[in-house]
Amino acid sequence: MADSCIEKIHEFNRVIWGGSDVKSDLFKRWCQGFSFSPVEYSALVQSTGGPCAIIATAQATIMYEVLFIRKQNLADITDVDNMDVLLSALLRIILLVSSDRQSHFFWFYWCDDDGLTGSESTTLDVKHAINDTNVCSEPLDPNINQLSECGFQTFISGLRCFKAETVDELRAVAFSLQPQIKSKYGVLCFLYSVLFTHGLQSLIKEMNGEMDALIDPIHGHASQCLINLLITGESTPYLFDGERDLGGFTLKGVSKQPKTGFLTFVEAMRYCEVGWFLKNPYYPVWILGSETHLTVLASPDMSLVSKNLKSEDNVSIPDIRKAEIEFDYLSPDQDTGGFIDSLNFRELLAKLKLSTGSLQINDLIARLDPEGLGIILKKDFLQFFFPEEMARRNAEVINFQLIHYNGLEHSNTDGRVRYSIGEARLIDPTEELVETYPVDRSPIQQCLATKWPTIRITWNKNRSPSLN
């Protein structure tokens, strides 16, 4: 292994793991291959907690690949063609993170034989690799349970990679290494492929001074930087749109509409704010975050997403969703956020920097509260300040199907990974005020309400799927 390659991998390890001293139990949890459920041929299985950022984003890409590129149903995928779909999804992620920054791509694999001597470089060009039949000719044992002899340094010493100059070369390498992708180091090798392709300097620059490692050294979970990289192609630690100034420091969030989005239960607990771009991806597929795990939500209904309705050049304009968030914060009714006290109206306008035009604020309050009840309904407020958005929303679909995926077997009924199917309905905000049945307060319901505040879902088997 060449000294330059050793140094580069060690530099990446500092960013990925925080150094070279990686806890053995944490590392073993990341030693997983890409494998599919025996009862749901398009659904990946996650053996243990840890690498959900890789597996969930791969699964999200599989779902939009099948539903919107191939225009098939997920049930159409068989155990014969699912590897082809997986490889296509992994290549899409590699292309996303390259984003013209690099003139080449990297694809890592692991080899424990003597195909390369200690004096040779670990980076091979594609022509050399294709002609070299000695390079890792024996497939690895994909059995996740056979990990007693594995260790972090063993993994690092066996890392090899191909450098491809074109997408066609990259595709040829990936398809030739299918057994590797299924092996116990498949997920880790793909992680290194993503990060090397993105580039160390780009990675550090986009992390914007973030000092935490990409993988938490205690719990083994991926940081938001890594999650954002896999979703948006940029390793920003923030979820908001565009840039924000904080005491002279510029914080960079998400800069454009991604192919797949991100929603999180943490926003429902009001610990963060997810911006418009992540809530409105190009395809109706979202990564769902809990405090400790990532799952995936998709819908076959393209009318759920908006294209280019928000300017990428001016992402700080208060949109209707931001208005709803601030309205809900001021509402005494934390279950529905359906109204605010009229005494809080001035504070709401100030937070959103909304103008009342020629109307005096007291006159506007009288218009929005004609009966003098001392409250302002959310629907009336939004209709006054956001008439176009409300008209568009009223024309949107109100009934749609949802498909939820959780790759952890123990989080699924009977311990086997299956999709959960739900029938969703968006109700009028005023309906919330007269609902007589209890509102579902499950974590997934609260998570989805950060995008669709009035969503109601009936899941198959009447069981809300788990976010954990």
* In contact, 268 and 449? CB cutoff 8 Å: yes
Phi, psi of 125, deg, nearest 5:
-80, 165
In angstroms, the CA 296 to CA 55 distance is: 10
In angstroms, the CA 294 to CA 411 distance is: 12
* In contact, 200 and 103? CB cutoff 8 Å: no
Q: Which of 52, 111, 136, 447 is catalytic?
A: 52
Q: How many CB atoms lie within 10 A of CB 208?
A: 16
10 catalytic per annotation: no
Buried b or exposed e, range 122-143, using 16+ CB within 10 angstroms: bbbebeebeeeeebbeeebebe
In angstroms, the CA 54 to CA 191 distance is: 7
293 catalytic per annotation: yes
Phi, psi of 450, deg, nearest 5:
-70, -20
Distances in Å between the Cα of 11 and the Cα atoms of 20, 69, 151, 201 are: 10, 37, 19, 11
Give me Rg for the CA atoms of the chain. 24
Q: Which of 221, 293, 404, 447 is catalytic?
A: 293
DSSP annotation of 215: B
Hey, which residues does 297 pair with through a beta bridge? 286, 404
Q: Is 150 exposed, middle or buried (0-12, 13-18, 19+ CB in 10 A)?
A: middle
DSSP annotation of 222: B
Which residues fall within 8 angstroms of residue 262, CB to CB, at 6 or more apart?
A: 227, 228, 231, 239, 274, 278, 279, 286, 287, 288, 289
Catalytic residues, by residue number, are: 52, 293
